[in-house]
Structure formats: structure tokens, C-alpha cells
Structure 1
Amino acid sequence: MPPAAGNGEPYRSPPSPPSDAAAFEALLADALRQAILDLDSITGIVYLMEDSGEWLRAAMIGGTPPAIFAMPERMALDAPYASSTACRTGTVVVFGEPVVRADDPGLARVVPFPYAVASTPLHANGSRFGALTLIRIPSRAGLMSNEKRRRLRGIGDRLARNLVPLAEHCLPLPNTDNPLLLPVYTSDLRQPSEQTAVWGIPDAPGSSGMTLMYQLHKLSAALNQATETHDVVVAAQSRLMHPYHAQSLILNIVGDGRLWVAGHCGVAPEHLRQVHGSSSDSPTPAADALHGRDPLLFPDRAQLLAAYPDARDDGQRAWAFLPLRSSGNPVGVCCLGFAEERLFEPEEQAVMMMMADLLGQALDRARLSEREHALAESLQRGLLPRILCDLPEMITTARYLPACPTAGVGGDWYDGIMLPDARICLVVGDVEGHSVESSAVMGQLRSAVLAYARENHGPAAILTRTSHLLAELDTELLATCCCVRMDVADGAAEVALAGHPAPLVRRPDGRVDALDVPADVPLGVHSATPYRTYETTLAPGSLLLLYTDGLTPGQSSEALAGVRTLLAAGGQDNERHLEGLADRLIATAPRPPERYDDVALLLARYERATPDAQHRSSRMEIQRHDLQGVRETRRFMRDHLGSWGRDAMTDDLELMASEVVTNALIHADSDVELRLRDYPDHIRLEVRDSDVSPPVPSSLSAAEEENAQAEHGRGLIIVDSLATTWGSSPSGRGKTVWLELSTRDGS
């Protein structure tokens, strides 16, 4: 009878050294499969020592999903893992087993993470080869008793002895950069509890784990394409909430010491109000999960109330609170609610945590991207003119739309520059690219054009000097530009282009055509040919449209035809509503996510009045937060309406003006501009500010939930009841609230 080994097992002489890598891999596979089956484990890993002797690397991983995909591939020998500890100390190490309760030794305490780790060293003949590690579910397979530990040690010792000939003959170890995977289906034959959703096909080994991992893979693919917080919420809803048969989902993000609802589904509004903005340090499951690394799972309401006696009833009967982390930092909590009581199987818990890891990283990326885009967009908008200059003879308005967030912020701009001697310079430009650099270059070019125009240079000279400036800047970006200088006294216009689309003009008779201006080269391009000026004379009633190519992507004939049609469609009665025309034009631009470029447009209508025509206008400005300006507004309205012979309309217009101006001063953190225009059949009032929120009449001081972003004011009810027509139009840096009142009895 052969002598016994030190661990009680019969002694077996070591086999002859393996002749190739395949035989060596068979040694690992035999030991791994035996350990998994003998000790009822989910996963097993053979870690081998790297040549440096400082790291362990997974050479082979065996078992079933999902645990097989969650194991670390590499760890330092001095790391506090069970595998490195076992290899370092030469003893069997068990981590993560639950504590047995003294009052009920047959049951184990529920622990947040469902797996326990048992590892034995691979030592033989004075050599340390690594460690053999098992992942087990104590609630299913029982605890690692002393007898089980001896069996694990015996399997590890036999593998180590089999590795000795390999080391003695200096045969190369197989490449362990990518661990080999060994399927060993055992645990999937166990059926889930009747209280939990069935994953996969019953009695089909591997189906449960594959179904779980399929959802994990699909979630990962969806999150890779997520660029906004909303995208992350949609992915969580479709690939976490629905597959787990949850009835509700709340995705919270942490900020300023509070939890904010970033997205939700299936949650009552009153519960959302309680959760949104709650303290991240409050004694609630969501707050506690945020600061922990493990999920908080409550299979029924009794267990929830045992831990949180003050928990509100949200209509659910089971809950899962998953911490979301990125780079080790908490970023939020994913809260799932279930309509029925249910147990959470260990496999489900493991995949939940894998999904939570993906959600946390994606949420952090999306928020960072949104902050960067908001910063760049704020910079871009801040460089646009807050108020467009115009004259009584030349009415202007502008629009700006940023590209979708995935495209980045661009460098489009527009400007209206007042010049001496009743002249005005209209400019639209576009810096290539979509980045903060594009916005910064745009700001420099806009300042240059503004300065050169006010030095009384003509359009061609303005473009020449600006092109030289751009060529000298520390950038490789180019830009296009359209510059129009017009004398409103006689309609004489000078136009120059730098690689930009030519302006469109609608003639008083309704014809629409593009000005025949030489395109020339973009700004920043060295050229021996100077920029050329095109001269024309516009008749009163002519309408100019300057725009960037984002309005007509690729200068497609279809898009350009649509713009021409809109310009030609309006009759004389509709032409006075320049804001409405600008809204219709900007609405033709592609919508996100198809809008890959910024869009800027500038409309200018030449309205030089004939000596017998009635057409007067005036303007005033009020400094931001200057509520005394409301009194000046009333005086301004009385004085001008009285001098224009519009006394019968003074009371109504004065009241409406004071309400709109008050609303703007309260809500908009900007100066406010008031423009009053007198037409033969109506009076038009425009109030411009830098708040993009649309005005919504409301009898309540608090905003309604569906219009939370709107600017509410009770004074707008007065405007709505007194004005013949009114509306609001967004511009590059804010909005224009306009109203009109028809003349009464021809007065």
C-alpha cells in the first residue's frame, strides 16, 4: 500500500512532465473541474505567479455565468485578496462567509454580496506557483467546514506537485495574458425560488446565467452610446428595470449634499417630490446605499420597516437600492421597486451589481459631457450680441440654434452694428469645427469685425483685416463670413463674402433671389486675390436673410428651396411679423440628433418710409434688476404715444408694457430693451431680455410641473386679455416678448 501524503491522501508519484501546452492546460482543467464539483462552487480560478514574483495572474477560470465574468484577472501578491493571502501565507483562506446566528445556527445572516471566496496555496518542493480559488454561495452549498477545507487543500497540493516537473524541466508556462475559460455547469440546475423571476429555460444548464449575461451585455452596449443623462435612464429602464420585472425605477444623482431625481418610471408624483432634493445623509435606504459599496435588498415590507421604521409606503412590496460609483466615488443610486414580494437570487444580485457599475460610470460620463457642453454653449451664447441694433428704417431679428450635444458646440455668430451717418453693418459668420476652441476663435473674430466696422472700413476691407488676424492666431481653424453695410437713407448696400453662402433678398414684389456676390476664400486662407465688394440698392420693403450653412445642410437644393419658399410665402400683412418669420425659418433646420451643425440666421427688413407714410419708432433700455425702470417705462409710453397722437391707446399699452417689463426684470438676469413701433393700423411693442425661458400666463406663483422651465407671471394674463395678438420669440441670447394693439376708430 502506498504511503499517505501529509494531508491524509494516498501518495501518488508525480507524472512525467507534460510535453506541450495542451497537456499543461489539461492539468489545470482537471484540478479546477474537480474542485468546483467536489465543493459545489460557482466558479474556480487558477492563479499562477508571474516571473517577477510580485503578481498573480488568472491562467484558467472555470464555472458558470455570471460569476465567471466578475473575477479579477490580476492581483498583487501583497493585495488583501483571498488568493494572494493564501499564496503568501501558505494556508487555506476563506473570505466573505456569513456569520452563523447563535439563536438559529441552521440559517445564515443575509449578507449584501452573495458570494464567499475560499483559496488554497499551490506550494510544492519549496516553490510557490500561485493559488487555487473557489467562489461559493454559502446559502446553497453550506459553509466551508474543516473537512471541506482539507479537501480543497488536497486538490491544490496535487496540482502543485504536478506543476513541479514543469518547473524542473524549465518548460514555458502558457500565455496567461488572457485566461482560459472552462465551462462547468452545476449550479444552473438549481431552480430559482418561486418568488423570483425565472431566468432562461428551466432544466437547461447554463440558460439562466446566459440570459442574465445577455441583459448585461445589452446594457453595456446601450450605455456605450449614451451621451446624456436621459440616455442612461432609458438604458436602465429597458435593460435593468424590465428584465428584472420591476414596477418602478428612480435614478438619483448626488450633488451639493442632496439626491436629485435624474429619471424615473412608474413612480407616483407625490413620492418623487419627497425623494427629489432629499439629503444624501438622511437615514433612508437610498442615502445609505449611496455611501456603501453593496446593494440594500428588501424582499418584503417587513424587512424594510425593520431597518427603516419611518419608510413611507410607495405602493411597492420589495426593493433594491443599488449604489452607483465611478472611479470609486459615489455618483448616485438606482432604486428599483417590485409589486410583489420576492427573493433576490445570488446570481441576480451579482448581475445587479455589475449593471450598477456600468450605470455609475455611464452616468458620470454623461454628466461630465453635459457640463462640458453647457459650458461651451454658455461661452458661445455669451459671445453673441444680447441686443441687435437697428434703426427705424431697418428692423432686425436673429436666431441661433446649437448643434446637438454629440456634435459639440460650434462657432456660428451674427451681429448688427450701428455705424455713423444712419448706416448699419450686418454680419453672419461660421468658424469651422465644434469645440470650445471654435467658440473662442469666434469671439475673437466677432470683436475684430466689430472694431473694423466701427473704424468705417468697407465690407471687403473688414474681411481682409479679419482674415489676416485669423492667420496670425494660434489656431488651424478657418472661418466663413458674410458682411453687409447698408445706408438706410437711400438703400445702398455693399456686400462681401469670405467663402460664405450669399444673402437671400426678398424684393417688394415678392421675388426671392440670392445676391450675386463673389464667394472668395474663407477667412484665414492666404490668397493673392483681394476680397471683392458687390454693390446694390434695396428698395423699401426689401427683406435680407443672412444665414450659416447649418440652416441648409450641404447647401442642398431641397433645403434651400424650402427657405426661399418661406421667404416668398408671406403677404404684406404677415411681413410685419419678422419674429414669426424667423421662427418659421429656424424651424426648417434639422432636429437633434440629426442637427450636426450650429444654425444662425439674421433677418433685416428695410422700411425706409416715404414722406407721407406713418412709420415711427423709439426705444429705451433698463438696467437689470432696476425696478424703478418700470416707472420710466410708463413715462416713455405716455410721452411717445401722446406725441404720435395715440392717446386713446395709451392706458392699455402702458399697463401691458409695465407688466411685461416687470416680468422681465424679475425673471431675467439681464438688461431689458423696450422698442415701440407705430404703424398705420397698429402699435407694436417689443421687450427683449436674456432669459430663454418662455413666458406662460399663470394665476399661480408656483410653476406647474409640466411647465417647470417656463417663466410664469400673472401680468401675462393682462397682456393676453388686452393685446390684439402677442407672443414670444427666442433669439441667440434670450427672447423677445412682443405684443400688438390694433388702432381704434382710426386713431
Structure 2
Amino acid sequence: MRTGEPLPPVEDVLAALATGLWRWDNRAGLVTFDVEAARLIGLPSPDGKPVTLSESGARARFHPVDWNEIDGIVRLALAEGTLAEARLRVMDERGRVLRTVRSRSQPVVHGDSPDLYELIGTLQEVTEPSPDAASRTPVTGDWRRSREAFLLDAGRALAEAGSTQEVLRVAAGLSMPGFSPEGLAVFGVAGDRLTVIGHHGHKAGSEGPFTDMDLATDYPAAEVCRSGRAVYLSSPDEYQGRYPAAWPLAARFNRQSWAFLPLIVAGRTIGAWMAGFAYPVSFTPDERSVLTTVARMLAQALSRAGVAESERELTDGLQKSMLPTLGPEIPGMALAARYVPTGGGLQVGGDWYDMIPLPNGHIALVIGDVQGHDVRAAGLMGQLRIALRAYASEGHRPDAVLSRASRFLHGIGAPVHDDGLADPRFATCLYVEADPATGFLEMARAGHPDPAIRMADGTVLMRPTAGGLPLGIDPDADYPTTRLVLEPGETLLLCTDGLIETGGHDLDTGWARVRTTLESAAAEKLEELADALVQAVHGPSSHHTTGPLADRREDDIALLLLRRTTPSAGPTTARRTAMTIAQAEPERIAAARQQLRELLHDWSDEDQVDSAVLLISEMVTNVLVHTDGDALMVAEVTRGTEGGPRRMRVEVADASDNLPHKRRPGELASSGRGLVLMELLAQRWGVDPQGEGKSIWFELYEPSAAPVAGDGAVSRETAPPGP
């Protein structure tokens, strides 16, 4: 062709190059081939006109593996704004490969749906690729299968990463099929600046020039973040030609190829991912497809990790601001506390504890649990804690503090959800006012688990206390008080139900686990005892546990330990318990029996324990039946002097001056056996008049020795028939 002559028709040029044109409209489901393209797929046109096939008809002309690749290649081209390129094997009617053709086409999306597109491009016969090159193309099934396995493993690993550092560590360990980058870097966008989030395969400090870069900089990662499209650089010459200003920064890493891909989440570019290769990479459609898929998964993983880290940072701050400190040391007493949040993301929930100095010099210990483990539970917990501190600081007694707190929580009201249903919440609470000088405790309970006491010798007693409804249910609810004395060396445990019922335990088995821990753990240091209680449920923890350990929690745990450290004036008292049985609460007789059994858990003679339990039932029942007042039970176990036998002494006092009289009940009588049983079962017993009322008592000794009656006591053998 001479200079100045008109160019030949395009069709003639394409025919001379053995290149055909095709058009695939997936809306209509039709594929049209021109004469040359029809010849290449084995359908020569006798009349020289284009050939139109249905999608199924066109699919039958190509290898099924290659045809299935087309949709992914088209989506990749649409995402990158590039041409869709593919190698396709043409098959004959017998399933034999006629030839291999290369397709290059421009995808055009119709409407807003990426599933409706049209391809217009070329078909050109190519020679079969070498085995090495074939390993990187969709023509071979081995590469395709290894790629799918790699993407599955990478997706699983990135989905399990819980922090940005874990995501970067997973990305650095990815071994891509057929090609693996030598260096990786993840860039983030902060306002109009480009920052380095993390990198791998580079020396420490080498990221310096890239850590704070203007997005307008002529740097590949900056362009990717601006445009949202990938940049592939197959050689140093291409890098230097496209980005001459940034090339000196990249040249010192001695890379041969680079891929910069956008990290896109919900249509927003949050950063860029750079993969640098130590050898030339042509970035075939298959390689770009793998890199694009990894970048998509990496963006999702980084987004999840960022949200989780922000939540952790927020909740850690919320936790620190809402959880109290135990304040200064209390003379004569020691305190320890633990709070372990549940899993589910929010690291602060509805459980709380508090220590409040009171105007009268006493201290108040509060522990509670707001229903739920969500943000609302945490918010209500904060409000309720502030209200309780305010009421306590005004000097109200425990029952009045809980009554006011219940009215406060009920008055907050329940929010109404979109479905029109209200979400009322209640809270359990245990409030204890303690006098450090005397060890006197006065407590009120609102639907909360009872406290427990670890005595000086390690014996653990659950202390049943009078209680009322949980806070917030009834604004007019009453909360009776229970009084007891914490003896020197004894430790009071207050806890939420998470310590008891976690791990498949119910209330009974959970308390058994707590009791075993309290009895077996070394208790010289209160902090070690608190750690032992938490470890018995979940393993090692810190004062406020977060992270993977916290993610395994079933329920929040809050606990308080209060120990009276004042030395005792009477070292012979090994253990002691006391409780009041009111006229209106005869069911507490069962609790009194249980208290006595727990006090005598290591008594060597089971018959004596059964006798003591029977006698306490008779004594308390007599008070409730024959008087108008309450019964006060006091039981203690003391060690005799110079290694003598232990003594059990049980006393029941009441406010009536009427002394008991011995009677002779008949065989069918339902009463009158109290003093008869006392004579038969007790080794020593007696009745002591007091200023107001009286007390009746009995003593039993372990079988190693027998006591001698004296000191004004009335022994069983010499007990008179009267009072």
C-alpha cells in the first residue's frame, strides 16, 4: 500500500490477520459471529453472512471449563475498567480440540445490574501455550483447582482474623498458586492523606517515605485510592514511565513487577494493597482475578477488624469509666474485686460492683446484675449505680436504699421497639453496710444470690438472707434486712450468677463448685483467692479480662471479697454462725438446719450431727409455736485447750420469759418431746434466763473424750424434770 492511498476496509484487514469479530448480548441470549469468527469456531458461513447462535449453541462450540471462566473475567474487567481477555479452546462435535483462540472484548453494562452486559470483541487463533505458561491460564484445570483451594483457605483465614495485625499476618503468609509476591504493603486513607497500615517483606523503617503521603501524589497507591481502580506494572520500565516522580522511592526495593489494588467496602475505597514481585509478572486475567479476589477479602477483613478494634477501644474506655476503684484501705478490713465481661463484642455489660463510704464511718458494698448483655443493660447499670451511690450517701439504711433504687429503675420506663413491643428491664442487687470496727453487717437483697462466708479455718457457709423482688418490678416492694457479724479472719463473698451458673451448672452445683474453690484455695492473700474463684470457672484471668478469653464467657462475672483482719481476742473459737428465724418465716427452719450441717461438715460423728439437726429443729419450732417473737440461733464449734476434743454448742434465744417444762407425751402426741430429746441426745444442755427472754442451749463433744459437768451447767444425767 502506497503512502497517501486510502486505508482498506476494516473487514479486509481483520480477515488478513485471521481475526474475527463477535458480539454477545446476554440480555437477548444471542451470540453473533462474523464470517472469520464463524470459521474459527468451526461454523464456516457459505453465504458470507454473520452467524447468530443462542448462548447454549455458542457454549457447545467451546470447552466447558473455558466458557465457565468468562463470567468471572467479565466481572473483573468491569471492576478494573479494562478489556476482558481469555483463551478459549474450540471443540468439534466429537469433543476434540480444533484450535485455541484468544478473545479480547470490551464489556458494556446495560442499566444498573452488572448481570446484564454486552461483549463486543475479537477472536484470533493462537498457538498452544507452553506447559509453564499454561499453568497460569484457565485453559488447564489444575491451575483452576489450585486457585479455588487457595481462595477458600485465604477466605477462611482472613475471616477468622480478629485484629488488624492478625489480618496483616494472614495476608503476609498467603502463598498464591503459580506466583507469590515478595513484598506486601497495606495503605489506608485518613482524610486526604495516605498512610501505611502494615507491610511485610521490607526492612524495618523502609516504609518511612510512604507513611504520610498526600492523596494527590503521583504514586500508584494514591492513584488507586483516588480512582478505585487497580494499577498493574509489569516491569520497572513501565513503573518509571508512568510514575517518574515515585520511581526513585520504589527502585531501591529491586522489584520487577507490582500490583496495586483498591480495598473497597460497601462501594467506598478504604485503602490500597500493594503486591511486589521479584520476577516479571505479565498479570494475565487469571492472575488479576486472584489478586482482585484477595483484595476484596482483605478489604472486608480489615473493615471488620477496624470496627472490632474501635468497639474494643470504646468499650474499654467505657469499662474503665464505669467500673469503680475500691478506694483507700479500710482499717480492720481487706477488699478484693473482679469483673469479667461476657463475649459478644461489648466488653462491659449489666453486672457491677461498688464500694461506697458512708457518712457514719461505715462502708457499703453493692453488687448487682441488670438483665441482658447489650448496650442498654450497660447504660442502665451506669444509671442504677449512680442512683445507689446517691441514696447511700444520703445515709439511708440498706432497705431504704433498695426501695428507692427499685422505684428509680421502675420510673425510667421501657423503650418501645419498632415492632411496638416494650423492653422492660429489672436488676438484682445485694447491698451490705459494714462497720469496720465491729464487723457488724446489715444487708438487704433484691432477687440476688445469697452471700457466702469463708470462716477462719476454711469452712464455707452459704448465708441465706431475707430478700425482696428484683429492682424495677414493683416500685412499692419492701426489702427486709439481715444482720450478722463477720468474725476476725472470716471472708464474705458477694457475686453475680455468672460465677455460679456458668459452664452448664445450676444454682446447686454452681454453689458446690464455689464452695470447693473457697475451701481448697490458699487464702492468705485476698487477691489470690479472687483469682482462684475466676480461674475455677474460666481459667487464668486478670482483674478485668478482655480479648479471646472474654469471648468464651457465657455470662458476666462480678465478685467482691470482704475480709475482717482485726485479730481475735478469743483464739479458741474455730467457727461460728448465727441467724434469725422470724415468726412470719417458718420455712427458714430448713435453712437453719442446713447452716448447722455446713458448720459441722468435718465433724467425725455423723450421728451427733443428725442429733444436733434434730434438736435445732425442735428448739426453733418451740419458739415459733409457743411465743410471739423471733428465734435467734447461734452455733459455734470450739477447739478445747491443750489439744482437747472439739465442742459443738448451739443456742436458741427468744424474747419470752416463759421457761420450758418437761412433759410426758403419749405415743400419739405431736408435741412435748423437746426436753425429752434434749436429755437423750445432748451431752450437756441448759436453760439460761436473760434480762429480756431466755436462751436454751446444748453441747456435744467429738467422741475422743467426754466432758465433766460443772461450771453451773446442767448435764444430761442430772437434768431436772423442771426448767
TM-score over 0.5 for the alignment?
yes
Residues 625-651 of structure 1 deviation map (CA, whole Å, 9 limit, x = unaligned) = xxxxxxxxxxxxxxxxxxxxxxxxxxx
Distance 1:255 1:343, change over 3 A: same
Rounded Cα–Cα distance in structure 2 between residues aligned with 1:346 and 1:465: 71
Equivalent of 1:68, from 66, 71, 76?
71
Equivalent of 2:118, from 133, 136, 142?
133
Rounded Cα–Cα distance in structure 2 between residues aligned with 1:500 and 1:344: 66
| Corresponding residue of 1:286 | 221
Equivalent of 2:393, from 447, 450, 454?
454
Distance 1:28 1:278, change over 3 A: closer
Superposed, which structure 2 residues align to 1:612-691 within 5 Å? none
Rounded Cα–Cα distance in structure 2 between residues aligned with 1:372 and 1:45: 56
Equivalent of 1:399, from 323, 338, 341?
338
**Contact 2:455–2:491 (Cα < 8 Å) also in 1:** yes
Rounded Cα–Cα distance in structure 1 between residues aligned with 2:318 and 2:339: 14
Residue 559 of structure 1: how far off its partner (Å): 6.7
Q: TM-score, normalised by structure 2?
A: 0.55
Residues 299-328 of structure 1 deviation map (CA, whole Å, 9 limit, x = unaligned) = 455544554122264475543222212234
Q: Is the partner of 2:306 in helix, strand or coil?
A: helix
| Corresponding residue of 1:469 | 408
Q: Does structure 1 residue 508 correspond to structure 2 residue 508? A: no
**Contact 1:316–1:338 (Cα < 8 Å) also in 2:** yes
Q: Does structure 1 residue 426 correspond to structure 2 residue 365? A: yes
Residue 527 of structure 1: how far off its partner (Å): 8.7
Distance 1:277 1:132, change over 3 A: closer
Structure 1 window deviating more from structure 2 (360-369 vs 479-488): it is 360-369
Matched AA of 1:370? E
Residues 203-242 of structure 1 deviation map (CA, whole Å, 9 limit, x = unaligned) = 44xx645654565566556666666445644664566767
Residue 461 of structure 1: how far off its partner (Å): 3.0
Identity %: 30
Matched AA of 1:357? R
| Corresponding residue of 2:377 | 438
Residues 572-614 of structure 1 deviation map (CA, whole Å, 9 limit, x = unaligned) = 6x32xx344444544555314312443333232222356999x
Matched AA of 1:606? R
Rounded Cα–Cα distance in structure 1 between residues aligned with 2:318 and 2:219: 39
Q: Does structure 1 residue 250 correspond to structure 2 residue 208? A: no
Matched AA of 1:350? S
Rounded Cα–Cα distance in structure 2 between residues aligned with 1:193 and 1:309: 36
Rounded Cα–Cα distance in structure 2 between residues aligned with 1:556 and 1:131: 54
Residue 443 of structure 1: how far off its partner (Å): 1.0
Q: Is the partner of 1:443 in helix, strand or coil?
A: helix
Distance 1:428 1:257, change over 3 A: farther
Rounded Cα–Cα distance in structure 1 between residues aligned with 2:65 and 2:134: 26
Rounded Cα–Cα distance in structure 2 between residues aligned with 1:26 and 1:325: 27
Residues 372-427 of structure 1 deviation map (CA, whole Å, 9 limit, x = unaligned) = 44324423431222453542222223333333453664122211001133311111
Superposed, which structure 2 residues align to 1:513-662 within 5 Å? 513-518=461-466, 520-526=468-474, 530-554=478-502, 556-557=504-505, 563-569=514-520, 571=522, 574-575=524-525, 578-588=526-536, 590=538, 591-609=549-567
Superposed, which structure 2 residues align to 1:334-373 within 5 Å? 334-373=273-312
Q: Is the partner of 2:330 in helix, strand or coil?
A: coil
Residues 682-703 of structure 1 deviation map (CA, whole Å, 9 limit, x = unaligned) = xxxxxxxxxxxxxxxxxxxxxx
Rounded Cα–Cα distance in structure 1 between residues aligned with 2:38 and 2:270: 41
Residues 168-222 of structure 1 deviation map (CA, whole Å, 9 limit, x = unaligned) = xxxxxxxxxxxxxxxxxx99x975884797478x744xx6456545655665566
Rounded Cα–Cα distance in structure 1 between residues aligned with 2:274 and 2:228: 15
Distance 1:541 1:218, change over 3 A: same
Rounded Cα–Cα distance in structure 2 between residues aligned with 1:606 and 1:275: 61
Matched AA of 2:31? A
Rounded Cα–Cα distance in structure 2 between residues aligned with 1:534 and 1:135: 87
Q: Is the partner of 2:448 in helix, strand or coil?
A: coil
Residue 509 of structure 1: how far off its partner (Å): 1.4
| Corresponding residue of 1:31 | 31
| Corresponding residue of 2:233 | 298
Rounded Cα–Cα distance in structure 2 between residues aligned with 1:45 and 1:239: 43
Rounded Cα–Cα distance in structure 2 between residues aligned with 1:342 and 1:45: 37
Rounded Cα–Cα distance in structure 2 between residues aligned with 1:463 and 1:40: 89
Rounded Cα–Cα distance in structure 1 between residues aligned with 2:276 and 2:313: 33
Q: Is the partner of 2:296 in helix, strand or coil?
A: helix
| Corresponding residue of 2:324 | 385
**Contact 1:495–1:535 (Cα < 8 Å) also in 2:** yes
Matched AA of 1:506? R
Residue 345 of structure 1: how far off its partner (Å): 1.4
Residue 62 of structure 1: how far off its partner (Å): 12
Distance 1:218 1:513, change over 3 A: same
Q: Is the partner of 1:600 in helix, strand or coil?
A: strand
Residue 362 of structure 1: how far off its partner (Å): 4.2
| Corresponding residue of 1:117 | 106
**Contact 1:410–1:432 (Cα < 8 Å) also in 2:** no
**Contact 1:197–1:245 (Cα < 8 Å) also in 2:** no
| Corresponding residue of 1:176 | none
In structure 2, stretches of 5+ residues that fail to align are 1-9, 12-24, 42-51, 56-63, 85-102, 415-423, 539-548, 572-723
Residue 442 of structure 1: how far off its partner (Å): 0.9
Residue 484 of structure 1: how far off its partner (Å): 1.6
Residue 286 of structure 1: how far off its partner (Å): 3.3
Distance 1:556 1:69, change over 3 A: same
Superposed, which structure 2 residues align to 1:482-493 within 5 Å? 482-493=430-441
Distance 1:31 1:277, change over 3 A: closer
Rounded Cα–Cα distance in structure 2 between residues aligned with 1:334 and 1:504: 57
**Contact 1:297–1:320 (Cα < 8 Å) also in 2:** yes
Rounded Cα–Cα distance in structure 1 between residues aligned with 2:40 and 2:154: 30
Distance 1:350 1:501, change over 3 A: same
Rounded Cα–Cα distance in structure 2 between residues aligned with 1:553 and 1:238: 41
Residues 636-694 of structure 1 deviation map (CA, whole Å, 9 limit, x = unaligned) = xxxxxxxxxxxxxxxxxxxxxxxxxxxxxxxxxxxxxxxxxxxxxxxxxxxxxxxxxxx
Distance 1:374 1:37, change over 3 A: farther
Count of residues in Structure 1 that have an aligned counterpart in Structure 2: 481
Residue 429 of structure 1: how far off its partner (Å): 1.8
Equivalent of 1:498, from 446, 466, 475?
446
Residue 539 of structure 1: how far off its partner (Å): 0.9
Distance 1:30 1:260, change over 3 A: closer
Residues 477-524 of structure 1 deviation map (CA, whole Å, 9 limit, x = unaligned) = 222222221111211112333333333332111223332235654322
| Corresponding residue of 2:269 | 330
Q: Is the partner of 2:249 in helix, strand or coil?
A: coil
Rounded Cα–Cα distance in structure 1 between residues aligned with 2:568 and 2:315: 46
**Contact 1:539–1:606 (Cα < 8 Å) also in 2:** yes
Residue 349 of structure 1: how far off its partner (Å): 0.9
Q: Is the partner of 1:269 in helix, strand or coil?
A: coil
Rounded Cα–Cα distance in structure 2 between residues aligned with 1:422 and 1:605: 17
Q: Is the partner of 2:473 in helix, strand or coil?
A: coil
Q: TM-score, normalised by structure 1?
A: 0.54
**Contact 1:390–1:424 (Cα < 8 Å) also in 2:** no
Superposed, which structure 2 residues align to 1:717-732 within 5 Å? none
In structure 1, stretches of 5+ residues that fail to align are 1-6, 9-24, 48-60, 74-80, 83-94, 99-113, 122-129, 143-185, 614-747
Rounded Cα–Cα distance in structure 2 between residues aligned with 1:191 and 1:507: 84
Distance 1:266 1:505, change over 3 A: farther
**Contact 1:504–1:514 (Cα < 8 Å) also in 2:** yes
Matched AA of 1:541? G
Rounded Cα–Cα distance in structure 1 between residues aligned with 2:339 and 2:562: 15
Distance 1:131 1:599, change over 3 A: closer
- Name which one, 1 or 2, has greater alpha-carbon Rg: 2
